[in-house]
Amino acid sequence: MRLYVCWGTFWTPRPGGHPCANAYHALVDAGYEPEVIRSYGLALLPDALNGTPGRKEAKRLTGKTTVPVLVTDDDEVVADSKNIVAWAKANPAGAPAAPDDAADPAAASAGDGPAASA
């Protein structure tokens, strides 16, 4: 699991907290130990001035140079701190994976009843 951040995951006095720190701490609180990749740069700068390797990778993954960006172990890409926080809450580390049939209620009930056994 990789988490692309700007400069770090430290506390700031910014209202609502710093987006990169919020994303990082949500992942840690959910039981993950993400590899933190410092992308540097500044979101306010145009892409031409945000040419660091981390910002270029964020753009390749999401179409934007803004961070934070999470890449899960399954190569799922989650951009934006609020989305990363929501992902971490919905996917705590060590939680059992949902069975494939759970995603399709029709498939889960297809084997029920006497007509199913021919």
Q: What is the pLDDT of residues 22-74, one digit of tens each?
A: 999 999 999 999 999 999 988 888 878 888 999 999 999 999 999 999 999 99
pTM over 0.75: yes
pLDDT of 100 over the 80 cut: no
Q: CA-to-CA distance for 77 and 112, rounded, in angstroms?
A: 37
Token pair belonging to 36: 């933190």
What's the CA gap between 11 and 89, in Å, rounded?
20
- What integer best gives the mean pLDDT of the chain? 85
| pLDDT at residue 22, rounded to an integer | 97
Q: Domain count of the chain?
A: 1
Which H or E run contains 79? Answer: strand 77-79
Cα separation, 19 vs 11, in Å, equals 10
Q: Is the pLDDT of residue 102 over 70?
A: no
Domain housing 59: 2-116
CATH number assigned to the domain comprising residue 68: 3.40.30.10
Q: Please, what is the end-to-end C-alpha distance for the chain in angstroms? A: 46
